[in-house]
Amino acid sequence: MLKKSDRLIFVFVILIILSGLISYFRVFDRYELALLDLRFQARLPQKTDPQIAIIEIANDTLKNMHSWPLPRDYHATIIQILSQCGVRAIIFDILLSEPTGDDAILAESVKRAGCVYLPYALRPEQIKDGVWEAQDFDTTLLPELAKVAQGTGHANVLTDIDGKRRRIPLLIKYQDDFLPQLSLRAAQGYLNIPAEKIKFSAGKFVQLGDYCRIPIDNEGSTVVSLSGRWVDTFTHYSYYDLFIDYAQGLLGKSGLALSPRLASLKNKVCFVGLTATGTADISASALEAKYPLIGLHANLFNSIISKNFIRRISPLANLVTLYLLCLLNLLLAFKAKAPLNILYRIGLFLLFVLGGFLLFIFSGIWIDLFCPAVIYLLLYLGINVWRYLKEIRQREILEKELDIARNIQRSFLKDVPKEAKAAELAVAMDTARHVGGDLYDFVQFGDGRVGLLVGDVSGKGVPAALFMAQIISRFRYFAQDYFSPAETLTKLNEDVVRDSTSGLFVTMAYLIYDPAKREITLASAGHLPPLVVRDLQLFEKIEVSEGMPLGLMAEAVFEEKQLKLQPKDLVLLYTDGVTEARNSQGAEFGEERLIQALTGKQGVSSKQAVELLRSQIQAFSVRTPQHDDITIMALLVT
């Protein structure tokens, strides 16, 4: 059977392995993608090449020219228009697979232009060796068009688990060939990079000669670095407007005269595609809920020629980041002082999240945030819960120890003497904590006299309780040898001052009752003066002029005072916890309420008087925690 410590280590190791697997296999990728979108939205618009233009087949084109699909001779004409305008490249994001009567016209136009790139679509079925593999075409390109195009490439775009399109596979394996993506093929031609200089490293990069290295994931895909919102990036032209400008130029008297719009197309790289609302080419992207697919291709082309890529760090790097983050969490939790460790750990979390955003915004580096943040917060909560439970356990142990200490402290306090002559005695003590600093004692002398002691140690809790036990032990030693209250307090004070190093002191009221004379002799060490209640009607304080608390000064002088008593007189000794008891409004019980509590209570015993006073204090302080020890002692002359 495993020990408790071994079980904890075992559970901890299992949690480490589990969190590592969750991170490595990107279980929370849906949420990572959501945080990626937030980073896209947080960064400033990226620089776009001014030569990239979008020729939109938008709502105006379909309304004024023809419903979708447009006739092939229209595309032949737009190629002719763009070619005459001197564009550098024309990239069609329009699949041309079904034969029509105008294909020959289109092929001739493509051939004459000599700069047209045309797409096809593959049907990827599996990932093998870090690249998608396709067994067949989803949509082929007409052979007569493929022969005359400057280049061809697939137009496949991947859809992530949340339905958004962010990634494009740069290469798809078909049979024994790696077929390039349309924008990659166009960028290759634009940069004059031979096909043999394109290198592929599975899960790492696609190398375009000496020009750039495009980062890819373990599916051979790259995250498209969107430059900004659709309407804010690239130069946009209407397919329909270009037709109109061209037609108006043809009608001019001096032949074709380029309009300013047409003239601005010179040396442009033109992406031609469908952007009409409600079509299949509109989908959600990282930046917008409705984003044309032609925009992804244009952004990929721009990203390649500007060398601006999104680099997602590897699962292993994410795992290392996660473990380092959690290790720092643990170090701060157990090394930093409380409560600063909480602030440090929260600050570390916020710094990590902020760092993840800044890395993406300024460097295009995509690190996982959601999974590390969740595991970090769970670890944070787990440590706090563990500490809380540990504190509860320690508190339970302390409670038991304090209960034992209370019982030990109670054992130092004597029971009320039952054989006291001509007097009835009672005492009650209520500590504010488990143990307290109040003390009381009884001394029985051989001649029938009885000594009554009530004291109050400065401070509260365990230190006061230990000092109290020391004081009682010493008091009992001196009380038997020195019958006079003043002499007893003098010797006790000298002893306490000589040996005490705690800095505590104690106030005391010590009286000896002589039943034969019905007389008390009192000495006080800075304590509250006892009260004498005669027939429960007249109240008298027994005050002495000299006497300071024990433990402050060795040469302290203590005065004695004698007082004659009559039958039914009640002598009350108490600590300041009685008069200083507070209610919910902060008012104190006070001496006046003490006197009122006993006024007119005829025939009560000493025990009844003590309990009556306790009940009055409890009623006064209801719903207010007791803040000081309360001790009440009563002597009733019989």
List of residues 6+ apart from 471 with CB closer than 8 A: 439, 455, 457, 492, 496, 506, 550
Which residue, 51, 60, 59, is CA-closest to 241?
60
Tokens representing residue 429 in the block: 């003590």
One-letter amino acid at 360 equals F
Q: Residue 111: its pLDDT value, please?
A: 97
Least confident of 90-99, 182-191, 616-625: 616-625
State mean pLDDT over 189-209.
94
What confidence score (pLDDT) does residue 360 get? Answer: 97
Backbone angles phi, psi at 337, to 5 degrees: -75, 140
Distance CA 210, CA 195 (A): 13
Phi, psi of 470 (to 5 degrees): -65, -45
CA distance from start to end of the chain: 69
Place of tokens 């020629």: 305
Instruction: Evaluate whether 149 touches 89 at the Cβ level (below 8 Å).
Output: no
| pLDDT range class, residue 6, cuts 50, 70, 90 | low
DSSP 575: -
Q: How confident is the model at residue 257 (pLDDT cuts 50, 70, 90)?
A: low
CB 220 within 8 A of CB 130: yes
d(CA 246, CA 78): 9
Token match 């001196």: residue?
A: 478
Mean of the per-residue pLDDT values of the chain: 91
The reported pTM is 0.71
> pLDDT digit string (tens) for 367-426?
999 999 999 999 999 888 888 888 888 888 777 766 766 776 777 677 888 767 778 999
In angstroms, rounded to a whole number, what is the distance separating the alpha carbons of residues 74 and 72? 5
Distances (CA, A) of 209 to 170, 305, 455, 497: 15, 13, 94, 92
pLDDT, one tens digit per residue, over 462-504 is 788 888 888 888 999 899 877 789 999 999 999 999 877 778 8
- Enter the tokens of residue 128: 């093998």
Residue type (1 letter), 379? L
User: Per-residue b/e over 492-502, b at no fewer than 16 CB within 10 Å?
Assistant: bbbbbbeebeb
Domains and CATH numbers, the chain: 1-40+309-412 (no CATH), 47-307 (no CATH), 415-637 (3.60.40.10)
DSSP 65: T
Give the contacts of 408 (CB within 8 A, at least 6 positions apart): 469
Q: For residue 604, what are the contacts with CB-CB under 8 A and spacing of at least 6?
A: 536, 598, 612
Tell me the average pLDDT across 122-129: 94
Mean pLDDT, residues 127-136 = 94
pLDDT bucket at 34, cuts 50 / 70 / 90: very high
Instruction: Name, in order, each residue with C-beta under 8 angstroms of 271's C-beta and a sequence gap of 6 or more.
Output: 52, 53, 54, 55, 91, 93, 294, 297, 298, 301
Q: Which amino acid is residue 581, in one-letter code?
A: A
Amino acid occupying residue 441 = D
Confidence check: pLDDT of 253 > 50: no
The amino acid present at 500, given as its one-letter code, is S
The amino acid that residue 158 corresponds to is L
